[in-house]
């Protein structure tokens, strides 16, 4: 296992290097002066130019420049934002928690409703129930997320007036950011209005989280269903049936844990798509996360923000997909067979 983990670590480093070199090449093709693209300083003084040239090794050849670029980026220097003149790292630290909050709530929603519905769809012998569930999931899979977000905010936000449709928290509440997660911050806050602020934050997150949860929900339902259907034919299920166990026990104890392995794998493969969807959802609901920040960065041609955001999001996705792969290997002894055989 240690050797396997080491190999995955290698993979992470190698993939990050490839990613950084893609960004390095892209940076050199931005239609602006290279020093501005690298640091975001608009009109550098002579000393600043000398400093930039030294930091990024602009005098040396391409490889030397790449090494300089790597040094700066790996040590956390992402330059300053051209529009706000703040360090990109600080801005990133401010927007990332909001994105994580939204993603976690959406993932919990998707798993909480997706797995039971998937089990139900696989157990049901009724054609109509099966077809209804499959039609709903296929529609959810095909729906354009921006249109879904607009339609939901039009119905529930404007026409019915039930839920707020933009932002994270009503501006009336003044909550000290402690963790960056508004739901936790409002609970931790000692302001007299903390409870109502928490309810307000909860109301704000419902619409974006539901919009974002639709795609993972359909993926979970469909893969749970197909996994359980294929597992129910296995001999060990027949053995459990022959022992006279109750159906619910067979499904929950014997089939479901094995069925969740392919679900995990499918979710890992869809991470990139989820990230794209999350960015669109953040733009629609003015959620102050990394997606909305990046899209406003591209509107303003803020090249340091674009580099920093792309780097951060892609690194997170690489990290998560490798983590999912490791988890998949750890809980699934069968996948280790090929691993050892290959060595």
Partner 1 sequence: MPQIKIYQEDEIPSPMRRFWHAFSENPFAFAGLWTVICFLLLALFGPLIAPYAPEQQDPHALLLAPSWDAAGTVEHFLGTDDLGRDIFSRLLHGAHLTFGMALGIVLASLALGFIIGSISGMMKGLKSSILSHLLDALLSIPSLLMAILVVAIMGPGLENVFWAVGIALTPQFVRAIHQAIHEELQKEYVTAARLDGANQFQIFWYVIMPNIWDTLIIQTTLGISAAILDIAALGFLNLGAQAPSPEWGAMVSQGMDNLLTAPWTVTIPGIAILCCVLAINLVGDGLRSALSPINN
Residues near partner 1 (CB under 8 A) are: 11, 14-16, 18-19, 22-23, 26, 29-31, 135, 138-139, 141-147, 150-151, 154, 158, 271-273, 275-276, 279-280, 283, 294-295, 298-299, 301, 303, 306, 309-310, 313-314, 317-318, 321
Q: How far is the CB of 29 from partner 1 (least distance, A)?
A: 5
Residue carrying the six token digits 């691993």: 339
- The residue (of 58 and 150) whose beta carbon lies closer to partner 1 is 150
Q: How far is the CB of 229 from partner 1 (least distance, A)?
A: 11
- The residue (of 44 and 268) whose beta carbon lies closer to partner 1 is 268
Burial code (b: 16+ CB inside 10 Å, e: under 16) for 298-334 equals: eeeebbbbbbbbbbbbbebbbeebbebbeeebeebee
- The residue (of 236 and 319) whose beta carbon lies closer to partner 1 is 319
Q: How far is the CB of 152 from partner 1 (least distance, A)?
A: 12
Q: How far is the CB of 144 from partner 1 (least distance, A)?
A: 5
- The residue (of 68 and 309) whose beta carbon lies closer to partner 1 is 309
- The residue (of 260 and 294) whose beta carbon lies closer to partner 1 is 294
- The residue (of 87 and 309) whose beta carbon lies closer to partner 1 is 309
The CA distance from 203 to 164, in Å, is 7
Reduce the secondary structure of the chain to three states and give it as a string: CHHHHHHHHHHHHHHHHHHHHHHHHHHHHCCCCHHHHHHCCCCCCHHHHHHHHHHCCCCCCHHHHHHHHHHHHHCCCCCECCCCCCEHHHHHHHHHHHHHHHHHHHHHHHHHHHHHHHHHHHHCCCHHHHHHHHHHHHHHHHCCHHHHHHHHHHHHHHHCCCCCCCCCCCCCCCCCCCCCCHHHHHHHCCCCCHHHHHHHHHHHHHHHHHHHHHHHHHHHHHHHHHHHHHHCCCHHHHHHHHCCCCHHHHHHHHHHHHHHHHHHHHHHHCHHHHHHHHHHHHHHCCCCCHHHHHHHHHHCCCHHHHHHHHHHHHHHHHHHHHHHHHHHHHHCHHHHHHHHHHC
Q: How far is the CB of 133 from partner 1 (least distance, A)?
A: 13
Q: How far is the CB of 241 from partner 1 (least distance, A)?
A: 22
- The residue (of 85 and 151) whose beta carbon lies closer to partner 1 is 151
Q: How far is the CB of 225 from partner 1 (least distance, A)?
A: 12
- The residue (of 146 and 193) whose beta carbon lies closer to partner 1 is 146
- The residue (of 121 and 175) whose beta carbon lies closer to partner 1 is 121
Tokens encoding 142? 């095909």
Q: How far is the CB of 186 from partner 1 (least distance, A)?
A: 30
Q: How far is the CB of 40 from partner 1 (least distance, A)?
A: 13
């Amino acid at each position: 296992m240690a050797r396997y983990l080491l190999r995955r670590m290698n993979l992470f480093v190698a993939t990050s290097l490839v990613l950084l070199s893609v960004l390095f090449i892209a940076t050199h093709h931005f239609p602006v002066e290279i020093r501005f693209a690298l640091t975001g300083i608009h009109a550098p003084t002579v000393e600043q130019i000398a400093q930039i040239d030294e930091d990024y090794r602009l005098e040396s050849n391409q490889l030397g420049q790449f090494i300089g670029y790597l040094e700066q980026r790996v040590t956390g220097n992402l330059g300053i934002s051209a529009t706000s003149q703040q360090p990109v790292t600080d801005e990133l630290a401010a927007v990332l928690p909001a994105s994580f909050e939204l993603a976690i709530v959406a993932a919990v929603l998707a798993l909480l409703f997706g797995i039971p519905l998937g089990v139900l769809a696989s157990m049901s012998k009724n054609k109509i129930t099966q077809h209804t569930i499959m039609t709903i999931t296929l529609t959810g899979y095909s729906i354009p997320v921006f249109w879904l977000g607009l339609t939901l905010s039009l119905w529930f936000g404007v026409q019915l007036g039930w839920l707020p449709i933009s932002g994270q928290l009503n501006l009336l509440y003044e909550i000290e950011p402690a963790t960056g997660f508004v739901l936790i911050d409002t609970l931790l806050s000692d302001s007299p209005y903390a409870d109502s602020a928490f309810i307000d934050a909860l109301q704000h997150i419902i619409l974006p989280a539901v919009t974002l949860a639709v795609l993972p929900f359909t993926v979970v339902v469909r893969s749970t269903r197909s996994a359980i259907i294929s597992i129910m034919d296995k001999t060990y299920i027949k053995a459990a049936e022959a022992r006279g166990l109750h159906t619910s026990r067979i499904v929950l104890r014997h089939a479901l844990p094995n069925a969740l392995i392919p679900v995990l794998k499918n979710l890992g493969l869809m991470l990139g798509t989820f990230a794209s969807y999350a960015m669109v959802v953040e733009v629609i609901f003015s959620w102050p996360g990394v997606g909305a920040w990046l899209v406003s960065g591209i509107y303003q041609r803020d090249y340091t923000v674009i580099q920093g955001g792309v780097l951060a999001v892609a690194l997170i996705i690489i990290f998560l997909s490798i983590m999912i792969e490791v988890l998949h290997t750890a809980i699934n002894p069968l996948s280790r067979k090929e691993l050892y055989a290959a060595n």
